[in-house]
Structure 1
Amino acid sequence: MREVTIGKVTEIPERTGRVVHIGNLELAVFRLSGGEIRAVENRCPHRGGPLAEGMISGGYVYCPLHEWKIRLKDGKVQDPDSGCVQTYPVIVEGDEVKIGLRENEEFRQREEETGLV
């Protein structure tokens, strides 16, 4: 796994999403009220809503388009809806925040979206 530094803990506002680009990946990064940081793809599985613009409640984000509730720990959409979003490991070392990526992951997602895989 490759770790990519995305900034400092203090640069991620509490209970608000922040968009982070790593190669072709667009992630939504959140700092929860307890200080935990989570990262998911910035795209709701329903209609592609930008999750970074969603409302945070506890360990969940609500899609800003249709209020689908998504658990940030594992990316699962909550009942009665279904689906999931990709989650990414977050590593905090001191004040630095890093995202863990599998090899070439930021390029593979774009290939999958365009049908090149």
Structure 2
Amino acid sequence: MENMTVKANRIYYPVGNLADFPLHLGKAVNIEGQAEIAIFRLSERTVYALENRTGHKKGGPLAEGLVSGEYVYCPLRDCKISLRTGEVQLPDTGNVRTFPVCLEGDTILVGIEP
């Protein structure tokens, strides 16, 4: 992909501008066929990226989940997942893969290990 950046053994791919991601809503992006990622913008410059599926068997699309504070609720099972760490909150268990995010100006970049 054009304009990718390499930092700390990760390749950072641009996924869009801040204005492309509405506050408190998820949006799915596909990074060069490597990963489908749910992007969540919580404030003007606070952005999180998680794998766009939960860890349970049905694998609900997280980008369609309800955001509350720093958590997203799985649209299929209603489990609560930390946007910061990917940890599924009790009484459920598990983890969702998270990806590092950095901003270059208003461009959001998501890091993926090669």
Shorter-chain TM-score above 0.5 = yes
Residue number in structure 2 paired with 1:114: none
Residue number in structure 2 paired with 1:32: 42
Q: Which has the higher strand share?
A: 2
Aligned counterpart for 1:95 among listed residues 99, 106, 114: 106
Q: TM-score, normalising length from structure 2?
A: 0.86
Aligned partner of residue 52 in structure 1, secondary structure = helix
Aligned partner of residue 7 in structure 1, secondary structure = strand
Q: Unpaired runs of 5+ in structure 1?
A: 104-117
Aligned residues: 103
- Tell me, in whole angstroms, the C-alpha distance in 2 between the residues paired with 1:72 and 1:31: 10
Q: Unpaired runs of 5+ in structure 2?
A: 1-9
- Tell me, in whole angstroms, the C-alpha distance in 2 between the residues paired with 1:61 and 1:34: 18
Residue number in structure 1 paired with 2:4: none
Aligned partner of residue 98 in structure 1, secondary structure = strand
Identical pairs, percent: 48
Residue number in structure 1 paired with 2:24: 15
Aligned partner of residue 103 in structure 2, secondary structure = strand
Tell me how large the CA RMSD over aligned residues is: 1.0
Q: TM-score, normalising length from structure 1?
A: 0.84
